[in-house]
Amino acid sequence: MSIGGRVGNGIFVKFFKFSIGETHVAMTVSAYLAKAPKEVHPKLDEIRTLIRAAAPQAEERISYGIVGYFSHGVLVYFGYWKEHIGLYALPLNIKSHKAELAKYEISKGAIRFPYTKKLPRMLIRKLVKAQLKLNEAKV
């Protein structure tokens, strides 16, 4: 199995391409996470737990082919890739936390956490809570 993706309208779209040429998008969060290589399961479980703890009221579902959380709008997405976990849809938070994110590869709306490093637990919680606060202020 190979993992691929493309950018569409600023949101990362993830798909799985199997050796028989079939394209499959996971329909549930559990199915999506089950498709990940076994060695990355602990990190995926950890980031999922961190997001859920920071925003327990958020709805969790597959959106754009990756895991998405929604509370008063889009909260955050995460997806797994060959060498990192991507955290998406945080442009204002990335901009305002740039110094804390300096050791990670970032773009306007994405943060890449390599599998070779520990996840920054406090920073992830802080980013999710800050996004939740922004979303709630819009309502």
Domain boundaries, the chain: 27-138
Give the model's pLDDT for residue 25: 61
pLDDT digits (tens, 9 = 90+) for 59-87: 999 999 999 999 999 999 999 999 999 99
Give dist(CA 40, CA 84) in Å, integer: 9
Asked if the model's pLDDT at residue 8 lies above 80, the reply is no
Give the model's pLDDT for residue 26: 60
Asked if the model's pLDDT at residue 39 lies above 90, the reply is yes
Q: Does the domain spanning 27-138 belong to CATH 3.90.1150.10? A: no
